[in-house]
Structure 1
């Protein structure tokens, strides 16, 4: 496989994990750009990055760059996605990939037009555990899916100016943590939900602080999701079938699941991959897709999830300043 040059736009915690995971694979991140040039220089010194860009556009114009990992605040994604894709760069973008389905449709259209890979860095789609579980389910040994139940609760500083609660930074539980839960549900459901009900509690800033979501598709598979940015909950997912149920803790980067069989309550532990290597699996799948191999980036699932989140926020009549 060709050696691809990666550049990171944004040098926060996710970019640090990216650089560390690339080192595990014997690769080095080629370039980095950031709103603060000084922070980008420090990042480059720490991780041995060759190129630091004075301006973001210099990254897009650099012929050596093949793939850009975009980890800036998600209300800036569409601007950078358009520039990167118009410059011929493949893009792996942090969740939430865009603010809404209209933005994602525009970006996906550009990727198709320029024969590029565009993907969301959704760990659920790349962890080996989920691929193994999909094989087990496809084999039929658990029978048809009936119900998915998900919790995700964080306790964030109740500061309406931070990125979790600020409308100007596209804060709120749905785009920050709900995207994981919805992606998990979509991974296991045989088709996208067409019936969606929800309730929301707004923070003083006007973004969603807490939400409950119910989903059902035409196969009558159902899902229930509870989210909160100000009440800690376990990151727990349960997937119930006729012949057994799967339980997964810390599901965004899980490497272990327990299947309990309905007939005799027998339990089977399924283990695959390593939580610490979550970004490495994304890198490997992205490079495989870019090389023309099997594309396992699942933009179709990303699109389904974005359509759900857009519909839910429309029901709440909640918009960000960029959408007004």
Structure 2
């Protein structure tokens, strides 16, 4: 699609939808349309951000001939049905993580997107933040030698409210799909190839979703990674890439703007600071439009597919099945 200005539509009106609205506004773009299950929330959102169109029935968004790109922000167990309907109507899709519940769903969406020649992308900050693009260049250039070990932590303390989406089986809750997707995407970003050896342990919440997990990964190059996830105790959002000649440390890694490289031979420390964490969705939006314009690689659907395959395999081993997957 050779077009300078795209009509964006936003499905959902939660926190991240508001962030994208601000990102589009910062870029000088207007939001064409918004839809939500609760119509009044869509009306309020439209008034707040000057959105041109509000649908009485949000499904009208998928067939509106004026819509180019739909940003889906609803709970991830709803993504696949919305994506299939939108893609069938030729809409490009930027979908919040996790993009689907499992690989079967994602493969179905990819197949339909290819058939309809539209862009399908996951709104995964790791793939779009300027810092990660810079660090990937440094690692692939070999400045630090070969990647040996990646260590990831992500822990949030959530109160034991079993109706909260984090613990709700009916909303596809759990640590892996909600926060683990960031850690595994980080690992995939810096590994030379997809991990093909995966071991894990899990602790379940009373509702049956995964509350806490430990994951070990290794690929053919014998690059290794360890991941610690929890929804009921605090951990720093910390990532570390250990190489032959140094290591990279990143704090608050889902939307990081700064990393510290320590060179092991000299002990010298170098700070790399690129981009701004508050512009995370702005970068996602920019790359999405580039992909729609023809640079499909920036969508990083290949990495999204690898990560979803890893998460699907882990949940299969755990025997963790969501209601939608039993149909």
TM over 0.5: yes
Aligned to 2:53: 51
Pick the aligned partner of 1:79 from 60, 72, 81: 81
- How far the C-alpha of 1:2 sits from its partner, in A, is 1.5
Deviations 1:33-82 (A, max 9, x none): 00100000000000100100111221011111000000000000000010
How far apart, in 2, do the equivalents of 1:83 and 1:244 lie? 48
CA distance in structure 1 between the partners assigned to 2:300 and 2:70 by the alignment: 18
Q: Following the alignment from structure 1 to structure 2, what is the Cα–Cα distance between the partners of residues 305 and 319? A: 18
Residue 294 of structure 2 corresponds to: 292
Superposition CA RMSD, Å: 0.7
SS at match of 1:20: helix
Aligned counterparts of 2:239 and 2:30: Cα–Cα separation in 1? 35
Q: How does 1:82-93 map to 2 (within 5 A)?
A: 82-93=84-95
3-state SS of 2:21 partner: helix
Unaligned segments of structure 1, at least 5 residues:
none
Alignment of 1:142-157 (within 5 A): 142-157=144-159
Q: Residues 260 and 193 of structure 1: is their aligned pair in 2 closer, same or farther, counting only changes over 3 Å?
A: same
Partner of 2:284: 282
**2:190 alignment counterpart:** 188
TM-score by length of 2: 0.98
Mapped pair 1:161 → 2:163: yes
- Corresponding pairs, count: 324
Is the partner of 2:229 in helix, strand or coil?
strand
Q: CA deviation at 1:295?
A: 2.9
CA contact 1:285–1:295 (8 Å) conserved in 2: no
SS in 2 for 1:72: coil
Aligned match of 1:69: 71
In structure 2, what is the equivalent of residue 18 of structure 1?
20
CA shift for structure 1 position 294: 5.3
Q: Deviations over 1:114-141 (max 9, x none)?
A: 0000000000000000000111112211
Secondary structure of 1:75's aligned partner = coil
Supply the distance in 1 between the matched residues of 2:24 and 2:59 (Cα, whole angstroms): 24
Higher mean C-alpha deviation, range 216-225 or range 155-164: 155-164
Partner Cα distance (2:265, 2:183) in 1:
28
Tell me the secondary structure at the aligned position of residue 43 of structure 1. Answer: helix
Per the normalisation by structure 1, the TM-score is 0.99
Distance between the aligned counterparts of 2:67 and 2:208, measured in 1?
A: 39
**Whole-Å separation in 2 of the counterparts to 1:46 and 1:317:** 43
- Aligned match of 1:99: 101
Counterparts of residues 99-178 of structure 1 (less than 5 Å) = 99-178=101-180
Q: 4+ residue runs of structure 1 moved beyond 2 angstroms? A: none
Q: Deviation string for 1:120-172 (max 9, x for gaps)?
A: 00000000000001111122111000000000001112111110001000000
